[in-house]
Amino acid sequence: MIADLHLDGNQEAATRLLLDFLQGPARKARALYILGDLFEAWIGDDAPPAPANEVAAGLRALASSGVAIHFLVGNRDFLLGEDYCRHAGMSLIQEPVCLEHDGHSLALMHGDVLCTDDREYQAFRARVRQPEWQQRMLARPAWLRRQLARLARFISRRRNRGKPEFIMDVNAQAVLSTLRALGTRNLIHGHTHRPAIHRLEIDQKQALRAVLGDWHAASGSAIRVDGGVLSLLDLGHDDSGELTITVRDQATLQ
């Protein structure tokens, strides 16, 4: 699983890191799940950002090697649709995703819906996820959508500067309610940019919440689930330019 790459024309190092990951370690997986915010902004499949074609080629090559690729949208690329997914050789899925692995169930999400203390953001999210709103937006000229996206991001940065830190993180009760509703004790998500494996207790039983980190010029983040063990990985390049993988933390699925 990966999330929060936020790729755009200014993220050449992060794009290269992703392509190296797709050509190397990802080929050993049965499936790759991208949990949102693959791109910094997405205004429609008809107007992809600079690295979109290069990224699609890398994803198609991975899919051609036999790895199933699944994508769910995040808060930056919620307008990414079926056309680009077909171009990239991946399937568009809806959250929450519930999986079975070696006798364990686990749920995958982008994670923004868990940040319930940020009521301003949740109101915005509810509005822009409405099909009618998206249809109206996609009907506008690409140049106007691009300007509106820049304005929205500027306003978001300004508002976020004044918010307490806890508001930007998940709500603990929202996490427990989600685990109960989905009937699982393992949750993986991104969005908060706070990579960690959290050991929880729910109804007197152990549970896990694993959080993916964001990607930037120097490093990336991934989660591997294999043999009932969840590993949180840090990705990077060494001085020779070779891809490096370091295990940050591990836990057994509950």
pLDDT digits (tens, 9 = 90+) for 183-238: 999 999 999 999 999 999 999 999 999 999 999 877 999 999 999 999 999 999 99
The closest of 58, 15, 62 to 40, measured between CA atoms, is 15
Q: Which residues neighbour 180 within 8 Å (Cβ) at sequence distance 6 or greater?
A: 202, 203
Q: For residue 4, give both structure tokens.
A: 């929060």
Give percent helix, percent strand, percent coil of the chain, each to the nearest 5: 35, 25, 35
pLDDT bracket for residue 158 (50, 70, 90) = confident
What is the model's pLDDT at position 155?
79
Say if CB 85 and CB 42 are below 8 A apart. Answer: no
The tens digit of pLDDT for each residue in 78-120 reads 999 999 999 999 999 999 999 998 889 999 999 999 999 999 9
Q: For residue 94, give both structure tokens.
A: 């809806």
Decide which of 150 and 185 is more confident.
185
Pick the range with the lowest mean pLDDT from 103-112, 144-153, 245-254.
144-153
Half-sphere exposure of 119 (CA within 13 A, CB side): 0
Q: For residue 159, give both structure tokens.
A: 């508002």
- Burial-class residue 75 by CB neighbours within 10 Å (0-12, 13-18, 19+): buried
Tell me what the mean pLDDT of segment 57-85 comes to: 97
What is the model's pLDDT at position 15?
95
Say if CB 226 and CB 198 are below 8 A apart. Answer: no
The tens digit of pLDDT for each residue in 118-134 reads 999 999 999 999 999 99
Tell me what the mean pLDDT of segment 157-181 comes to: 85
pTM, two decimals, is 0.94
What is the model's pLDDT at position 217?
75
The tens digit of pLDDT for each residue in 9-42 reads 888 899 999 999 999 999 999 999 999 999 999 9
Please state, in angstroms and rounded to a whole number, the distance separating the CA atoms of residues 240 and 237: 8
pLDDT bracket for residue 162 (50, 70, 90) = low
The closest of 216, 223, 220 to 243, measured between CA atoms, is 220
